């Protein structure tokens, strides 16, 4: 099956859970160019297994070459958190605390052949997360491109601190802590310093909201500082005026005595 654009992939995956029929309405004048697809169908239509084939295509192309689907499937079956996530997807009950990191993306999750998908990306179990990061970092494309590569292909909920990045590798020994640095930056837009756990690849629009809030807070602080400074200046001016008045009165009293 030929790969299609990312937008069509997203729409296909979103429409897969729904059962619907495509109805052809003939155009008398045959002026609609979109009718060509229905008037000239393929020789061997494969509508029955089209969704399954498409999911298999995503699964085969999303996982790095050094990591097989069987490994992901086995690791998923042994991962307690992903087990709970899988049951939550099937039942629709997200009350368990262990799946709280996935609540924000419940509408985008699905299960296929023992593997959890988020839209067109495979959800990687905890035991394989470091292996995926090592594979992505092996090409030495830099921190930004490595992070981008991971986000395009896979997805996982990053709950550990960035400081505990990875055991020493060849890259670490030769270049200091390059891998640790790459992982730390790759996870920099998750809530490492807060108690709330947020998924890896935190949405960009939410990061922008945070930035805007921070800017607003800074502006408010600046305004408060300015107001305080103005108040201090006013108080100083009032004190000076009072001193002048008192001094003038004393001078007038001395003159009157003379």
Strands (E), the chain: 109-112, 115-118, 121-123, 154-155
- Is pLDDT above 50 for 187? no
pLDDT at 78: 92
- What would the mean pLDDT of 139-158 be, rounded to a whole number? 76
Top-confidence range, 33-37, 53-57, 213-217: 213-217
pLDDT digits (tens, 9 = 90+) for 19-37: 877 676 666 555 566 666 6
Instruction: Round to whole Å and give the CA distance between 252 and 247.
Output: 9
pLDDT at 162: 36
Q: Name which residue leads in pLDDT, 66 or 19.
A: 19
- The length of the chain, given as a count of residues: 258
pLDDT at 60: 63
- What would the mean pLDDT of 124-143 be, rounded to a whole number? 79
Give the DSSP letter string of 134-183.
HHHHTT---HHHHHHHHHHHEE----S-TTS-----HHHHHHSSHHHHHH
- Is pLDDT above 60 for 164? no
- What would the mean pLDDT of 223-227 be, rounded to a whole number? 84
The helix/strand count (H/E) of the chain reads as 10, 4
Burial (Cβ within 10 Å: 0-12, 13-18, ≥19) of residue 85:
buried
Find the helix or strand (DSSP H, E) in which 61 lies: helix 50-62
pTM, two decimal places: 0.43
Contact 123, 109 (CB under 8 A): yes
């Amino acid at each position: 099956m030929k790969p299609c654009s990312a937008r069509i992939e997203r729409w296909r995956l979103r429409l897969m859970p729904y059962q619907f029929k495509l109805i052809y309405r003939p155009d008398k004048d045959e002026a609609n160019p979109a009718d060509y697809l229905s008037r000239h169908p393929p020789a061997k239509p494969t509508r029955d297994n089209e969704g399954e084939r498409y999911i298999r295509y995503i699964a085969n192309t999303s996982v790095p070459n050094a990591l097989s689907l069987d490994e992901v499937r086995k690791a998923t079956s042994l991962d307690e958190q992903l087990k709970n996530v899988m049951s939550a997807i099937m039942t629709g009950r997200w009350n368990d605390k262990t799946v709280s990191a996935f609540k924000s993306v419940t509408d985008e999750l699905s299960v296929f052949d023992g593997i959890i998908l988020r839209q067109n990306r495979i959800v990687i179990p905890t035991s394989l997360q470091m292996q995926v990061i090592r594979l992505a970092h092996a090409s030495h494309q830099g921190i930004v491109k490595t992070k981008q590569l991971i986000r395009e292909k896979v997805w996982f909920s990053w709950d550990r601190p960035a400081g505990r990045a990875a055991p020493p590798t060849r890259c670490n020994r030769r270049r200091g802590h390059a891998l640790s640095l790459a992982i730390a930056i790759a996870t920099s837009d998750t809530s490492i310093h807060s108690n709330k756990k947020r998924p890896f690849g935190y949405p960009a629009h939410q990061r922008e909201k945070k930035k805007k809030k921070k800017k607003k807070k800074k502006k408010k602080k600046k305004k408060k500082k300015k107001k305080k400074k103005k108040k201090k200046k006013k108080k100083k001016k009032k004190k000076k005026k009072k001193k002048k008045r008192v001094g003038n009165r004393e001078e007038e009293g001395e003159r009157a005595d003379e």
